[in-house]
Amino acid sequence: MEKYYLNKEEAVLLIIDIQERMLPVINNANQVVQRNEVLIEAAKLLGVPIIFTEHNSKGLGHTIDQLTRRIPDAKVFHKTTFSACNEEFLTYLNEIQRKKIIVTGTESHVCVFQTSRSLLDNGFSVFLVEDAVGSRAEATLNNAVSQLRDMGAIITNTETAVFDLLEESNTPEFKTLLKLIK
The reply to whether 44 belongs to the active site is: no
Q: Is 65 annotated in the active site?
A: no
Q: Which residues pair with 103 in a beta bridge?
A: 14, 128
Residues 6+ apart with CB under 8 A from 6: 100, 102, 127, 154, 156, 161, 164, 165
Cα distance between residue 173 and residue 2, in whole Å: 24
> In angstroms, rounded to a whole number, what is the distance separating the alpha carbons of residues 152 and 4?
10
Q: Which residue among 79, 85, 100, 131 is the active-site one?
A: 79
Catalytic residue among 100, 111, 131, 164: 111
> Which residue out of 17, 85, 131, 164 is catalytically annotated?
17
Is 79 one of the annotated active-site residues of the chain? yes
- Catalytically active residues are 17, 79, 111
